[in-house]
Amino acid sequence: MSGKERYYIDQAFETNWIAPLGPNIDAFEKQMAAYTGAADAVAVSSGTAAIHLSLQLLGIGAGDTVFCSSFTFVASANPILYCGAEPVFIDSEPDTWNMSPDALRRALEDANRQNNLPKAVIVVHLYGQVSKMDELMELCGQYDIPVIEDAAESLGSIYKGKQSGTFGQFGIYSFNGNKIITTSGGGMLVSDDVELLRKARFLATQARDAAAHYQHSSLGFNYRMSNLLAGVGRAQLEVLDERVAARRAVYENYVGAFADRAGISFMPELNETRSNRWLTAVLIDEKETNVTTSELLDALSAVNIEARPLWKPLHLQPLFQGTRFYSHLEGISLCERLFQSGICLPSGSSMTVIDQVRVVDCMNELFDKAAINSAQSA
Ligand SMILES: *Cc1c(COP(=O)(O)O)cnc(C)c1O
């Protein structure tokens, strides 16, 4: 927290706006629209709810197909199942680790041949790195398919001068506790289509018709954000740029610390983009370092440092068993390789330099030991 959150929460108490509507929500939505450059924004209870609403607004239902990045958190694709639609997963490409335009092209060509084009494509910007939006938008534009950007992890990231989440028909952000700014739980749906966002507000408040008595003609949801939490969001948004700077500094420190160590590389940053570096993701070349990712996670855990594997690709999840998957190159899945060889390092905005030195020292100790062991056995 930045400190100012209490001020906006107190305002909500003093004015008795303890509800899923109120001045904090209106202000937070306006500020998010202004920050991202989208025409409007709708504050909702989670990023997942925002994805679900965008699929609903596009009229997606049973029998429809939705393409989605495979290398992501499960929440990107769960709403496809909520709608009764079928997901098809698309691999990553090496420059961003995000959706591969080559894989997407093949998937679209196949779908077009089978007369079964997807109703939407969900493009995820993982760990803050924006996807190759020019290529992806061009491909989807050729077939007139709407794009939903899952920018849950990339708030504050920029692609060619524009905020992530503002390229597709819809963009979604998350304010879950682990994200770069948080409302403890919450999300935001943005779009340039103000009419559709009006409908999103309607659907998110139980789709109540304009009648004094409680009348409902369509299926709605209870997805609005609380006015208390929107107060937290207002204060958090004021420090977003500081948080991005802090996360980028954490990333730079790690890169500097391992600059001379062979077999360690970091998630790339595409030209003309600025990642918020939500999490610093690192790849460990097992052959070069003689260290596996699980050995590394264990070594860190042994000294009470929490690190995590990269997201397990969705096409490998038991939940999505049997779904179709298009790899970047025929027969070679890049996201599976990333999953096997990468981890996320501790990356919090409030991490001290001393904390970071502890992480680096622990890793160096393990790498040095592994190097000595392999020299002795050679
Ligand atoms: C966190 C996250 C979500 C879901 O956001 P919630 O607010 O937790 O529902 C969706 N997609 C990605 C990539 C995420 O990291």
Nearest to 283 by CA among 337, 331, 247: 337
Q: Which residues of 102-120 are buried (b: 16+ CB within 10 A; e: fewer)?
A: bbbbbbbeebeeeeebbbb
Q: Name the residue range of residue 372's domain.
A: 241-377
Nearest to 293 by CA among 279, 304, 307, 303: 307
Cα–Cα dist 128/72, whole Å: 12
Looking at 239, 268, 298, the residue that finishes a domain is: 239
For the domain that residue 196 is a member of, what is the CATH number? 3.40.640.10
Q: Do 314 and 189 belong together in one domain? A: no
Looking at 239, 261, 284, the residue that finishes a domain is: 239
Q: Do 30 and 41 belong together in one domain? A: yes
Q: Do 264 and 313 belong together in one domain? A: yes
User: Is the C-beta atom of 187 inside 6 A of ligand 1?
Assistant: yes
CB 42 within 8 A of CB 25: no
Q: Do 151 and 192 belong together in one domain? A: yes
Ligand 1 atom with least separation from CA of 72:
13
User: Is the C-beta atom of 152 inside 6 A of ligand 1?
Assistant: yes
Q: Do 110 and 178 belong together in one domain? A: yes
Q: Do 234 and 322 belong together in one domain? A: no
For the domain that residue 288 is a member of, what is the CATH number? 3.90.1150.10
Q: Do 249 and 168 belong together in one domain? A: no
CB 278 within 8 A of CB 179: yes
Ligand 1 atom with least separation from CA of 150:
11
152 Cα to the center of ligand 1, angstroms: 5
Neighbouring C-beta atoms of residue 328, cutoff 10 Å: 21
| pTM exceeds 0.95, yes or no | yes
73 Cα to the center of ligand 1, angstroms: 7
Nearest to 123 by CA among 94, 141, 98, 160: 98
Tally of domains in the chain: 2
Residues contacting residue 10 through CB under 8 Å, at least 6 positions apart: none
User: Is the C-beta atom of 70 inside 6 A of ligand 1?
Assistant: no
The residue written with tokens 């590389």 in the block is 265
Residue pLDDT, tens place only, 228-266: 999 999 999 999 999 999 999 999 999 999 999 999 999
User: Is the C-beta atom of 53 inside 6 A of ligand 1?
Assistant: no
Ligand 1 atom with least separation from CA of 186:
7
150 Cα to the center of ligand 1, angstroms: 8
Q: Do 311 and 168 belong together in one domain? A: no
Give the strands of the sheet with 280-284, arranged side by side.
Answer: 264-266, 280-284, 342-345, 308-309
Q: Do 312 and 226 belong together in one domain? A: no
**Ligand 1 site-directed mutation target among 55, 73, 97, 181, most atoms within 8 Å of CB:** 73
Ligand 1 atom with least separation from CA of 50:
9
Q: Do 219 and 245 belong together in one domain? A: no
Q: Do 223 and 300 belong together in one domain? A: no
187 Cα to the center of ligand 1, angstroms: 9
Tens-digit pLDDT profile for the chain (378 aa)?
999 999 999 999 999 999 999 999 999 999 999 999 999 999 999 999 999 999 999 999 999 999 999 999 999 999 999 999 999 999 999 999 999 999 999 999 999 999 999 999 999 999 999 999 999 999 999 999 999 999 999 999 999 999 999 999 999 999 999 999 999 999 999 999 999 999 999 999 999 999 999 999 999 999 999 999 999 999 999 999 999 999 999 999 999 999 999 999 999 999 999 999 999 999 999 999 999 999 999 999 999 999 999 999 999 999 999 999 999 999 999 999 999 999 999 999 999 999 999 999 999 999 999 999 988 987
Residue pLDDT, tens place only, 294-346: 999 999 999 999 999 999 999 999 999 999 999 999 999 999 999 999 999 99
Looking at 239, 260, 283, the residue that finishes a domain is: 239
The DSSP result for 181-198, as a single string, is: S--SS-EEEEES-HHHHH
Q: Do 267 and 361 belong together in one domain? A: yes
